[in-house]
Structure formats: C-alpha cells, structure tokens
Amino acid sequence: MRRILPQLVLGLVVFFGLLAPAGFAQAPANARPAASAQVQDRIAKLEQQVAEARSSGDNAWMLVCAALVLMMTGPGLVLFYGGLVRKKNVLATMMQSFILMALITLLWALFGYSLVFHEGNRFIGNFGYLFLRGVGPVPNADYAATIPQQTFMVYQLMFAIITPALITGAFAERMKFSAMLLFMILWSVIVYDPMAHMVWGKGGFLNASLGGAIPTLDFAGGTVVHVTSGVSALVCALYLGKRLGFPKEPMPPHSVVLSVVGACLLWVGWFGFNAGSALTAGSLATSAFVATHFGAAAAALGWAAAEWFRNGKASALGAISGAVAGLVAITPAAGFVGPMSALLIGAIAGVVCFLMVTKVKGKFGYDDSLDAFGVHGAGGSIGALLTGIFALRAVNPVFKDAQGTAKAVGLIDGNPGQVLNQVVGIAIAWVLALVGTFVILKVVDWVVGLRVAGEHEVQGLDLSQHGEEGYNLEA
Amino acid sequence: MKKIEAIVQPSRFEAVKSALHEVGVEGMTVTEVRGHGRQKGHTEVYRGSEYTVDLLAKIKIEMVVSDGLAGSAIQAILRAAKTGKIGDGKIFVTHVDEAIRIRNEDRGEAAL
C-alpha cells in the first residue's frame, strides 16, 4: 500500500495536469475576440463573488476573535485576578476588570478608535472617526482590506479593554472605585491611545508597515498592551504604597481554583488576541496560533521547573502564572517567529518572570499585589526584545524593498538593526507609561483621593466600595 | 457524669464516631475547629511568598456520659483516633454537676 500510494497521487496529478491546460486554453480563445459584454459581466461578477467569499471567511474569523479577546477580560482576567485576592475583596477585584468592559467601550465608540486609527501626527490620530463617523461595512484597506472596518474597530476595542484591566492587579485590595474609574479614563486616553497609534496607526512613529519613522515589530501588542500596562502597574504599586499589613500579614490567594480556570480561559482567548492579529484567516493566523500555543506551553513548564528546583515543589499557581507570562512574551512575536523560536521565547519568559516575581519583587519590597509588572511588564519587554532577534521574513515578509522583495526582518534573519528598533519601541513604551501614569495618579489623587480609608481596607472593598459580599455562605 | 471533649484529626472523625456508637455513646456535639498544639503548622508558598499556616483544621467532639461509660468511651476514642503522629489531638475529661433535658425536664443521667 505504501508503495502504491505515491504512484496513485502522481497519477492523479498528471491526469489533472493534462486537463488543466486544456481548460485554460479555452478561456482566452473564447473571451478575448468575442469580448461580449455578457462574458465581461460574468467575469466581473465572479471576481466580486470571490472577493465576497474571502471577505466573509475573514470576517467570520475576526468576529470570533473579537469575542475571544473579550473573553480574556471577562471571565478570564476576572477569575484569574479574583482568585488571587483575599475573599473580602473578590467582587471589587472582579468588578474593576468587568466595568472596564463597559467603560472603555464607551470611550472607544466616542473618540478612542479615532485617536488610535485615524491618520494624525506621528503620536496620536485625529478626530476623523469621531463618534465612529465613516466606520461601517467598507473595509479600511490600510489595516485590513477584507473585513468591514466596523469589525476591525470592534476587534481593536477588545485590546483597549484588557490593557487597562491588567493594571488593576497592581493596586488590588486598596484603591477607591471612583479613583479607579477616573484613572482608567485618563490612562486610556493619555497612555494607551498614543502608544497604540504609534505602533499600529497609519503613519505612527513606530509603525512597521505603514510609514513609521522607526519600524518596530509588535504583532499583537507586546509594547502597546503588556509593556504599557505592566510598567504603569509598577508606578501604581509604588505610588499607592503597600496594602495595610504587607508583607507581615499573610495575604494568600483566597481561591487558586478560580485563578486556574481564569488562566485556562486566558490561554484560549489569547488565540483570538494573537492569531486574530493576522486580521485574515490565512496561513499567518495559523503560524501565530501555533507560536502562541507553543510559547504558553514552554513558559508553563519553565516556571514550574524553576519553582520545583528552588522550592522543592511545582505549584498550580506557578504553572498558570508561567503560561500567562509565556503568552505575554509571545504576543509581540506571534506573527513573526517560527515554532521553535516560540518555544525558546516561552521558556525564557517563564524563568525570567518567575525570578522577577519571587526574587526581584522581594528585594525591592514594592507591593505589586497580583504581579502585573512582574508578568506583563517584564514578559512584554522580553518578548518585544526577542521578537527583534527571532523574526523571520519566511514567516512574515513585513519589510519589503522598492521592488517588493522581502528583506531580512530580525537578527537571525540578517537584520541586526531591528534589535535596536525594538529597544527604542520598548523604551518609548516605558517612558510614556512611567510619566503618563505618574501624572494621572497625581491628578486623580488630588481630585478624589486614591486609597480607601484604612478601616475600609481592613473591612474589605466588597463591602466598603460596593455594599455586597462575594460569598454569603449563610444565605 | 463526665464531659468528654476530644479534639481529633478530621481524617479520623468517622472512625471515632462509629467507635463511640459501638460502645454505646448515644449523643455528641461536633464542631469544626482550628487550632494547634505541638504540631505547629505548615508553610504554603504563593509566587515565592511563604505563609506559615499555624492554625490547622481539627474536629472537636463533645459528649456527656455516665461515669460508668466514660472509661470505655475514652478507650474507643483512643483506639480510633490514634495514628501515632504529632497532631492526633487531645482528650479532656471534666466532671459535670447536672444535666437537664429541656423537653421534659428529666434530670441527671436520665437526661443523657
């Protein structure tokens, strides 16, 4: 059977190969001389139908991806963070992520999308898409030529939601709800929108394919999402100070069970985040999907192994934290690197983030309660840097010369300069997040005050901020 | 009448309960409690932060029995609760002056 099979395949290929030229030969003979309007018409119709079929396929994929990315925030992050806090703060923590699903949507609809994706200057878009004017069924060919711009808009919205939600891990269990809302409105406009415009907006300073001054590779948001949120998280943790009793009082997660479920949802949702960033349902999406999965797997093993080696036990919390760290690190690289590079990036991120969270945090003594900086800031920076090393034109020919031939992309592809560009991109994200967040915290502190009163903190934010409890076991 | 208060490992509770039933103890009050004696606690590690959990989960069984039954009840608890490791718990025995059944105001051993 084994010997027959190749012959059979060869036979079929030859058979259809003989048929094909005959078919092609007929077409020009018929079409050109006669060139009847009817035939022209049919060809035009056919072309349109082909385009529509492609568009419908891509659109189906992108709508599913948009839903998957929203699922990362709720219930993914909601459960992941909710499980990590003490039970008196479980609802308040979940609420912080959940309410952003609504709040950022409002901002995005009114002006956020315009500030990021309309052409403007190098650093921010202008108000051309204010109130989503002109954002409808017609594709915006600069970003995604085969899907309605409205699909692109709603897909990108989900990124704008999860990014600020990640920060909430740093100030968990001690920030006023009102302060958090005001902070997030300002942060979205002052930090996220400019950074996203610089990297993804047409003409943005760091844009890799639409005329950026310093082309930086960021496939799905390593700098835009993870470096900005992670670094801002660090600023928040430092500015707000430690939780009362930290680190003397024990503050163990009240339910690692919730966190495990949340992390699993994050892993699945991340396929929408990274593979969806191909913006089509083609082979690039597949390649990003595979890289994403491989990065998460290697990082989960990396963190668990490092923990086993140091503490004598591999914990469930360690394995899921590792997976998230790997997903973060592979985010900027997903659509640029091969599967083996993805394994390597994941493994590096798993070990480095483990050391950040267990060693570095302890050394400096800041209270990044749920390790938003240790995982997203560190993982995002490492990932963005490694993207510059491992990116390949064979995976994604993002750089082209005047003739349209693909040029080397990353260091191992023969473009060492890209590493420097990545460093510039990372540095800009760091500076914007550091300065922007600090200024915003000052303003919010002055307007409404950042921290809850001491007695409210002891009582728990569920009761003091929201007047309810997560677990009414006697009810 | 004697009051017997036994604090035992949660994993041994079912065995203790049936051993007590076998020797004829008819009533008991059971509470889930937390505490420690010499066993101290254990450490948990969450992302590198170590926590010592020094209050451990135990089961407290309280019963009041006639003087005659006290000896065999204590033996039954010892038999069923002992694993030989630190943390097996303790038994406290005290004298009880009076017992009253609320329903019909029976007094003394008749109320047990």
Determine the average pLDDT of the residues in A291-307: 97
Q: How far is A357 from chain B, CA to nearest CA, in Å?
A: 7
- Give A147-186 pLDDT, tens digit per residue: 999 999 999 999 999 999 999 999 999 999 999 999 999 9
Least confident of A322-336, A356-370, A371-385: A356-370
When divided into structural domains, chain B yields a total of 1
DSSP string, B48-105: TEEEEE-SEEEEEEEEEE-HHHHHHHHHHHHHHH--SSTT-EEEEEEE----B-TTT-
Mutation for testing the B interface, residue in A86, A358, A373 having most B CBs under 10 Å = A358
Average pLDDT of the residues in A64-91: 97
Task: Count contacts between A and B (CB, < 8 Å).
Answer: 28
Chain A nearest-CA distance from B47, in A, is: 6
Q: Chain A partners of B32 at a C-beta cutoff of 8 Å?
A: none
Residue in A247, A250, A371 nearest the CB of B47: A371
Q: What are the phi and psi torsion angles at B56 (to 5°)?
A: -110, 155
Mean pLDDT, all residues of chain A: 93
pLDDT for B74 beyond 90: yes
**For A329, phi and psi rounded to 5 degrees?**
-70, -30
- Which of B32, B43, B47 to mutate to test binding with chain A, by most A CBs within 10 Å of its CB? B47
Whether residue B47 and residue A317 make contact (CB cut-off 8 A), yes or no, is yes
> Which A residues, 359 through 418, put their C-beta within 8 Å of a C-beta on chain B?
359, 361-362, 371
A338-353 pLDDT, tens per residue? 999 999 999 999 999 9
Asked if A252 has any chain B CB less than 8 Å from its own CB, the reply is: yes
Domain ranges of chain A: 61-466
pLDDT in tens, A407-425: 999 999 999 999 999 999 9
Q: Which residues of B touch A256 (CB under 8 A)?
A: 46
Tokens 């078919």, residue located: A23
* A267 neighbors A320 (Cβ within 8 angstroms): no
Residue B71 maps to which CATH number? 3.30.70.120
E-strand ranges in A57-145 read none
Q: HSE-up of B70 (CA within 13 Å, CB side)? A: 17
- The whole domain housing B6 covers 2-111
Q: What is the CATH number of domain A61-466?
A: 1.10.3430.10
B55 interaction partners in chain A (CB closer than 8 Å): none
